[in-house]
Amino acid sequence: MENSSGVALDFSHVQLGDRPLVVCDVDDVVLDFAAPFTEFIKAEGLELLPRSFRLTGNIVSVETQVPIEEADVKRLIGAFFDRQEDWQTPSALSIETLKAIGKAADVIFLTAMPPRYQEQRRRLLDRLDLTFPLVATEEKKGPVMQMIHAARPLPSVFIDDMAHNLHSVRDHVENCLLIHMMPDSPLHQLAPKPDQPIIRATDWPHAAEMIDAYILSHIPHHRTAK
């Protein structure tokens, strides 16, 4: 599969075993994004006003309350990702829960970010002992997960905070358990709700329960390590 720039996505570091597959978003699922980004932009005299579920149009000058331009929003996001190791922290219980899941399933991080920031993210995840393979791309997640999972006759799970990513995977990967997970932030309260049969997880332990039950229903001898 090639990205929108015509460059082939590299999955050579992703080695799947004969186990279920759990593909997981990173920002605001494994690592906090909205809260630290809001703090990050304060240094430039800016604030995020949660009036709709988007950054462009809602980042304003503290002094004038005038929204900044889309190009400036993209610059800020890039600057934040460049310094993510200084700002982003793990979401509650994400580390221990994912490590437990990883004892019984293959876990892959699929993060929606420019690949040029992948090294910083890799270092941050490794520092947190989350050494699962990482794929960073701005492509639609459904086709990417379809490429990763291929036609393996094993259960698959996808976790994300964005409805459109969950819908994309639903449309490209059959019989995949789709879990909607997001922080309880003012911004995310304005987020579009995903369609059925996508299930909302209240926290990581809840997600682990659903994953265990789903895999157990497909592989009766399976038990997620506690």
Strands (E) across the chain are located at: 21-24, 46-48, 59-61, 106-112, 134-137, 156-160, 176-180, 199-200
Considering the domain architecture, whether residues 212 and 158 belong to the same structural domain is answered as yes
**DSSP per-residue codes, 164-192:** HHHHHHHHHSTTEEEEE-----TTGGGSP
Examine the pLDDT at 6 and tell me if it is beyond 50: no
Whole-number pLDDT of residue 55: 96
Whole-number pLDDT of residue 196: 83
Considering the domain architecture, whether residues 71 and 132 belong to the same structural domain is answered as no
Considering the domain architecture, whether residues 39 and 115 belong to the same structural domain is answered as no
- The pLDDT tens digits of the residues spanning 144-163 come to 999 999 888 999 999 999 99
- Residue 51 belongs to a domain: yes
Considering the domain architecture, whether residues 39 and 127 belong to the same structural domain is answered as no
Whole-number pLDDT of residue 9: 76
- The pLDDT tens digits of the residues spanning 8-50 come to 677 778 889 999 999 999 999 999 999 999 999 999 999 999 9
- Residue 110 belongs to a domain: yes
- Residue 15 belongs to a domain: no
Whole-number pLDDT of residue 2: 47
Whole-number pLDDT of residue 223: 60
- Read off the pLDDT band of 224 (50, 70, 90): low
- Read off the pLDDT band of 4 (50, 70, 90): very low
Considering the domain architecture, whether residues 75 and 134 belong to the same structural domain is answered as no
Counting every residue written for the chain, the total comes to: 226
- Residue 104 belongs to a domain: yes
Mean pLDDT of 78-83: 97
How many Å separate Cα 177 from the centre of its chain?
15
Considering the domain architecture, whether residues 206 and 105 belong to the same structural domain is answered as yes
Q: What is the CATH number of the domain that holds 155?
A: 3.40.50.1000
Considering the domain architecture, whether residues 110 and 38 belong to the same structural domain is answered as no
* Sheet arrangement for strand 134-137: 134-137, 106-112, 21-24, 156-160, 176-180, 199-200
Considering the domain architecture, whether residues 95 and 158 belong to the same structural domain is answered as yes
Considering the domain architecture, whether residues 145 and 102 belong to the same structural domain is answered as yes
- Residue 57 belongs to a domain: yes
- Read off the pLDDT band of 219 (50, 70, 90): confident
Whole-number pLDDT of residue 57: 96
- Residue 97 belongs to a domain: yes
Whole-number pLDDT of residue 211: 97
Considering the domain architecture, whether residues 196 and 143 belong to the same structural domain is answered as yes
Considering the domain architecture, whether residues 206 and 96 belong to the same structural domain is answered as yes
- Residue 64 belongs to a domain: yes
- The pLDDT tens digits of the residues spanning 83-115 come to 999 999 999 999 999 999 999 999 999 999 999
How many domains is the chain built from? 2
- Residue 100 belongs to a domain: yes
Radius of gyration of the chain (CA): 18
- The pLDDT tens digits of the residues spanning 112-145 come to 999 999 999 999 999 999 999 999 999 999 999 9
For residue 202, give the DSSP letter: S
Whole-number pLDDT of residue 7: 45
Instruction: Dig out the tokens for 220 from the structure.
Output: 């009766």
Whole-number pLDDT of residue 222: 64
Considering the domain architecture, whether residues 63 and 101 belong to the same structural domain is answered as no
Domain of residue 144 covers: 21-32+90-218
